Amino acid sequence: MTNAASPEVLARVTGLVKRFGKTAPPALDRVSASIFGGKITGLVGPDGAGKTTLMRLLAGLLLPEEGAIEVLGHDLKRSPTAVQALIGYMPQRFGLYEDLTVAENLDLYAELRGLPRARRAEVYAELLHFTDLGRFTTRLAGQLSGGMKQKLGLACALLQTPRLLLLDEPSVGVDPVSRRELWRMVQALTGQGIGVVWSTAYLDEAEKCDEVHLLNEGKLLFSGKPAELAERVAGRVFLLDGVGGRRRSTLAQILAAPELLDGVVQGSALRLVYRASQDGGGTPTPPPAAGPSARLRPVAPRLEDGFIDLLGGALRTGSALADSLHPLPAQSHPVIEAIGLTKRFGDFTAAEDMRFSIPRGEIFGLLGPNGAGKSTTFKMLCGLLKPSAGEGRVAGFDLLHAGPQARGRLGYMAQKFSLYGDLSARQNLEFFAGVYGLGGGERRARVEEMIAIFDLAAVADQTAKLLPLGFKQRLALACAVMHRPEALFLDEPTSGVDPLTRREFWGHINGLVEMGVTILVTTHFMDEAEYCDRIALIYRGRRIAMGSPEELKRRVAAAERPDPTLEDAFIGLIEASDAERGAA
C-alpha cells in the first residue's frame, strides 16, 4: 500500500459538520481533509477555530452531525473502539492523573491499551529513555514541570505503538525549550511511519509541519504544505529598516496605504506585506511617511503572511483609543521600577533580586520558561504579591506602602478572559468604572466613550461570555484602560488569538504607548515579544539577559545562524545559562 510517491492515507474526513447547540454557528463547517502516515500534519488556527473538535472527532469522542470519518480503514461512527485501540491521543493538559506517580500513570495506560505484560519492561525502558523521565518514575505527575508532564502524556499515548498519534495543542503552557524537544521526539516517530496530527495556535510552529490544515471559525481555509501557503505572498514581503524610534507611529501612518496588506512591528523594524500589484515584482519604494533613512529589503514570507492574505488583509483601523487620550507629559523618573525584588516560598526562591526600570512610553517584556519567575515578578509589580525583599514602584508610588495609589495608576489585563461572563459588556464596563472610583456623570461618559472607541455598541447588551473572541479581547482591554492608567500590565494578552485580532489589539497598545502609557507584558509568545522595546529574559528565578529584541538576537548570532529569530535567542541564552551553571 505504501510507496514513496504517495504516502498512505491514515485518516480521511469528508464533509464534516459539527454543531454544539442549534443556534450557534457550526464548530466545523463542511470540512474535508486527509491525514498521511509518516508525516506531521498540523491542525492550525486560533482558539475557537475547531481544532479540538476535529481532534475529538478523529479520536471517536464526538459524533458529527454530517459527513464521514474513516480512520485506519474503519468507519469511526460504527466501530470507535477498534480505532481507539490503534491510535494514541493526548488531550489538552495531557490527561494525566496528577495524584499518581509517573510509573503508575504508565501502568494504567499500559493496561488500558492492552500492552502485553511480557513487553512492558522493554517498552517502558525505551519510552523512559526517549522522554528522559527515567529518574522520575516515583514522582507524582502533579509535581512534574509543564515540559515533563507533556513528555509523560506523550509516553502514555505511545505505549502501544499507535499508527496515528493525535496531539491536541501539546505546546500550550510549555516553554520554547521543551517545545523544541517535543518536536524532535515527534519527528523521530514519523520516521517509523506513524502519522502525527499536531494542533496549534502558533503559526511559527505550524510552519515546521509537513502538511497543514488551516482552520478559522470552523471553516477549512487551506490544506497543503506550509510553504505553499507562504508562497502566495512570495515577493511581497519586506522589512522596513531605519525607522528606529518612530516605528510605532510610522506603522500607524503607513498602514492606511491601500497597497499594504499587512504590517507589524518586528523588533526595531517593520515587517510589511504588500498586496499583489499589477506590475508584478521588484522592491517597492519605501512609503514616504517612513522618512528619508528608511530602506525596504525583501525577506522570506511566512505562514502567517499567507494566512493574513487568505483572510483578506489586516483591518485598517487607527486606534481611536489613543486619539481619546491626551499625551502624558514627559517625565524623567521611570514609571515602573523593580528595585531588587525578591520572592521566596520557603526554601525556594521564585524571583531573586529583580532590577529594572521602565521609562514612560516603553513596552517592556518579561520573557521566560514556565516557572522561571516571570509571573512572580509580574505579580509583585502589580501589587498582587508581597515581595520578601526589595521594592516595586509604579508611577512613583511604593506598592507596599501606597498600594491603593499605585494600583489606581495601573491597568491590568489577565491572560485568559477574566471579566464577568454572565454580565453584559456594558455591565462589565460599569462595574470596572465603579471599582476604579469613577462616579456619576463621569462614569456614564467613560463607559459610553469605551463603547464607542472599541466599537462595542452592537454587542453592549449581550452576555460577555457569549461574545466572539475578538470582542472579548476588546472588552477586556476597555475594562483595563477606562480609568486612563499610566501603566498597563498585560499577561500573555494575545496567545491563541487569530492574527487579525492580534494586530488590532497591538494597534491599540501601540497607540497607547505613543500617548505615553507604559506597558509591561509577560509572554512566551515570540510574536508578542517582538513588539517590545526591551525584554528581560528570566530563568530559574533570575534575570539572565536584558536588552532590545535586536540585541538579544545579536548575542546568539553565529556563522551557521547569521539571522537568528527571537526564539533562537531565547533558547540560545537559556542553554548558555545552563552551561554556565553546569560549569560553576
Partner 1 sequence: MSAGGGRRLIALMRKESAQMLRDPSTFLIALALPLVLLFLFGYGVSLDATSVRIGLAQESTAPPAASLAASFLASPFFRVTTGHDRRELEPELVGGRIKALIVIPDVFAERIARPGGIPEIQLITDGAEPNTASLVRNYVQGVLANWQRQQPGAVAPAITVETRFWFNPELKSRNFLVPGTIAIVMTLIGTLLTALVIAREWERGTMEALLATPVSAFEILAGKLIPYFLLGLASMAVATALAVWLFGVPLRGSFFALTVLTAAFLCPALGQGLLISAVAKNQFVASQIALLAGFMPAFLLSGFIFEIDSMPPAIRAISAVLPARYFIASLQSVFLAGDLWGPMLQDIGILLLLGAVFLGLAMRATRKRL
Rounded Cα–Cα distance for residues 93 and 153 (Å): 9
Torsional class of 244: left (φ above 0), alpha (ψ -120 to 50), beta (otherwise): left
56 binds partner 1 (CB under 8 A): yes
Pairing of strands 66-71, 40-44: unpaired
Q: Which stretch binds partner 1 (CB under 8 A): 90-98, 121-129, 323-331, 462-470?
A: 90-98
104 binds partner 1 (CB under 8 A): yes
> Which one among 24, 63, 435, 458 touches partner 1, defined by CB under 8 A?
63
Nearest distance from C-beta of residue 115 to partner 1, angstroms: 10
- Whether the CB-CB separation of 325 and 512 falls below 8 Å is answered with yes
Residue with cell 499518581: 100
Nearer to partner 1, 110 or 425 (CB): 110
Nearest distance from C-beta of residue 577 to partner 1, angstroms: 33
Rounded Cα–Cα distance for residues 239 and 248 (Å): 14
> Which one among 97, 130, 420, 436 touches partner 1, defined by CB under 8 A?
97
93 binds partner 1 (CB under 8 A): yes
Site residues for partner 1, 146-185, by CB under 8 A, read 156, 166
DSSP string for 183-219:
HHHHHHHHTTT-EEEEEES-HHHHTTSSEEEEEETTE
Nearest distance from C-beta of residue 320 to partner 1, angstroms: 39
Q: Return the SS3 of 402.
A: coil
94 binds partner 1 (CB under 8 A): yes
Nearest distance from C-beta of residue 110 to partner 1, angstroms: 8
**Tally of residues, the chain:** 584
138 binds partner 1 (CB under 8 A): no
300 binds partner 1 (CB under 8 A): no
Residue with cell 469522542: 61
- Please name which of 476, 498, 485, 375 lies closest in space to residue 428, comparing C-alpha atoms: 476
# binding residues, partner 1 (CB under 8 A):
34
99 binds partner 1 (CB under 8 A): yes
- Whether the CB-CB separation of 295 and 283 falls below 8 Å is answered with no
> Which one among 3, 23, 81, 138 touches partner 1, defined by CB under 8 A?
81
Q: Which stretch binds partner 1 (CB under 8 A): 59-67, 232-240, 406-414, 448-456?
A: 59-67
90 binds partner 1 (CB under 8 A): yes
- Please name which of 104, 109, 106, 113 lies closest in space to residue 81, comparing C-alpha atoms: 113
Helix (H) or strand (E) holding 425: helix 425-435
| DSSP category for residue 92 | G
Nearest distance from C-beta of residue 313 to partner 1, angstroms: 37
Nearest distance from C-beta of residue 376 to partner 1, angstroms: 24
Rounded Cα–Cα distance for residues 535 and 367 (Å): 7
**Integer angstrom CA distances of residue 438 from 56, 221, 442:** 46, 45, 6
Nearer to partner 1, 59 or 537 (CB): 59
77 binds partner 1 (CB under 8 A): no
Nearest distance from C-beta of residue 187 to partner 1, angstroms: 23
Nearest distance from C-beta of residue 379 to partner 1, angstroms: 25
Rounded Cα–Cα distance for residues 335 and 314 (Å): 32
Pairing of strands 534-539, 542-547: antiparallel
Site residues for partner 1, 193-252, by CB under 8 A, read none
Nearest distance from C-beta of residue 63 to partner 1, angstroms: 6
112 binds partner 1 (CB under 8 A): yes
Q: Which stretch binds partner 1 (CB under 8 A): 96-104, 346-354, 427-435, 516-524?
A: 96-104
> Which one among 7, 50, 60, 392 touches partner 1, defined by CB under 8 A?
60
Residue 519 CA, distance from chain mean position: 18
- Whether the CB-CB separation of 56 and 199 falls below 8 Å is answered with no
Rounded Cα–Cα distance for residues 144 and 30 (Å): 40
107 binds partner 1 (CB under 8 A): yes
- Whether the CB-CB separation of 51 and 101 falls below 8 Å is answered with no
> Which one among 38, 67, 80, 408 touches partner 1, defined by CB under 8 A?
80
157, with CB counted inside 10 A (0-12, 13-18, 19+), is buried
* Residues binding partner 1 (CB under 8 A): 56, 59-63, 80-81, 84-85, 87, 89-100, 104, 107-114, 156, 166
